[in-house]
């Protein structure tokens, strides 16, 4: 799984290195691919015309063999879409690797048949984010994908129910940092909001409510107590919820935590 040699400088590493990238599920061939250089040899010297024509034919047949079966074509399209979505949404490689594993299991269970590859790919990535506690909203995947949120959510439920993947519940504190960053709130307000959320959780006041709305309301309460110049509209825009939702969750937290609503 790792080189059996050591290198103590970049030049020495480049000389000793003789393998390609490690195997990964994010590539359609899992990293076991052959690359043809039809114009130059391994030393960078230009090949003769006869050898170039032969290498070009080999390269052409190599590409055809990679796209021979429908499964290979499916994986090649899906893994390209998966990499695009992960780059667009700033998702770490380990989460993307888990999403590729989920997609391959869905493909083996014939869940992709008759459905959009892009929708199944987006649903697999969303499922991987939820399984690894990476806070991402479904609307973000719908905006980045060519499929609608309704179609992605339908594929998400299908994969979740068929593969029986356990999904931990996202806590409101997971969304505090992202909302505060968009609303330009400092770390002191974030810390106070997290304390409010933990106090509400101990009183079982956040069960059955949107974690994003709870996080936004806690940030609004903390900002008011720190006398920060922030409005409900700014918090609602940062959290992508309505001002009515902010007010409702604000009243719930104020009632449960015995806070003065006027402050």
Encode pLDDT of 154-187 as tens digits: 999 999 999 988 887 778 888 899 899 999 899 9
Q: Give bridge partners of residue 3 from the DSSP assignment.
A: none
User: What is the mean predicted confidence (pLDDT) over 247-258?
Assistant: 89
**Mean model confidence pLDDT for the chain:** 85
Measured distance CA(27)–CA(100) in Å, rounded: 9
Torsion of CA 110, 113, 116, 119, to 10 degrees: -20
Tell me if domain 70-163 and domain 172-256 are identical in fold. Answer: yes
- pLDDT-based confidence at 136, cuts 50/70/90? confident
pLDDT band at 117 (very low <50, low <70, confident <90, very high): very high
Per-residue pLDDT of 5-38, as tens digits, reads: 888 888 888 777 776 667 778 776 666 666 666 6
The rounded distance, in Å, linking the Cα atoms of 141 and 154 is: 13
| Domain boundaries 172-256, corresponding CATH code | 1.10.472.10
Domain boundaries, the chain: 22-66, 70-163, 172-256
- Say which residues have a Cβ less than 8 Å from residue 246's Cβ, sequence separation at least 6: 213, 216, 217, 220, 232, 235, 236, 239
Rounded Cα gap, residues 39 and 55, in angstroms: 8
Q: What is the pLDDT of residue 170?
A: 73
- pLDDT the model gives residue 19: 64
CATH number among 3.40.50.10490, 1.10.472.10, 3.30.70.20, 3.40.50.2300, domain 70-163: 1.10.472.10
Cα–Cα distance, 219 to 235 (Å, whole number): 8
Residue 40 DSSP one-character state? B
The CA–CA distances, whole Å, from 204 to 25, 57, 64, 180, 208 equal: 40, 67, 59, 24, 10
Does residue 261 register a pLDDT over 70? no
In 21-167, alpha helices (H): 49-66, 70-89, 93-108, 117-131, 138-144, 149-163
Residue 25: helix, strand or coil by DSSP?
Answer: coil
Per-residue pLDDT tens for 216-233? Answer: 999 999 998 888 888 899
């Amino acid at each position: 799984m790792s080189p059996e040699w050591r290198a103590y400088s970049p030049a020495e590493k480049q000389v000793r290195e003789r393998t390609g990238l490690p195997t990964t599920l994010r590539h359609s061939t899992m990293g076991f691919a052959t690359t043809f250089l039809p114009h130059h040899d391994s030393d960078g010297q230009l090949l003769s015309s006869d050898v170039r024509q032969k290498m070009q034919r080999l390269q052409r047949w190599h590409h055809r063999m990679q796209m021979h079966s429908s499964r290979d074509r499916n994986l090649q399209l899906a893994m390209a879409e998966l990499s695009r979505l992960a780059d667009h949404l700033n998702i770490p490689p380990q989460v993307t690797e888990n999403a590729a594993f989920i997609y391959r299991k869905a493909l083996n269970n014939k869940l992709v048949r008759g459905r959009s590859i892009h929708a199944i790919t987006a649903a697999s990535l969303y499922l991987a984010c939820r399984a690894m506690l990476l806070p991402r909203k479904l609307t973000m995947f719908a905006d980045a994908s060519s499929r609608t949120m309704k179609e992605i959510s339908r594929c998400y439920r299908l994969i979740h129910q068929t593969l029986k993947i356990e999904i931990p519940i996202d806590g409101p504190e997971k969304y505090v940092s992202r909302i505060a960053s968009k609303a330009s709130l400092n770390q002191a307000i974030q810390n106070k909001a997290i304390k409010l959320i933990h106090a509400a959780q101990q009183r079982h006041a956040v069960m059955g409510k949107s974690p994003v709305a709870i996080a936004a309301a806690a940030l609004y309460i903390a900002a008011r107590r720190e006398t920060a110049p922030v409005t409900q509209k700014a918090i609602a825009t940062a959290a992508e919820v309505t001002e009515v939702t902010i007010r409702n969750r604000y009243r719930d937290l104020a009632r449960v935590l015995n806070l003065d609503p006027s402050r």
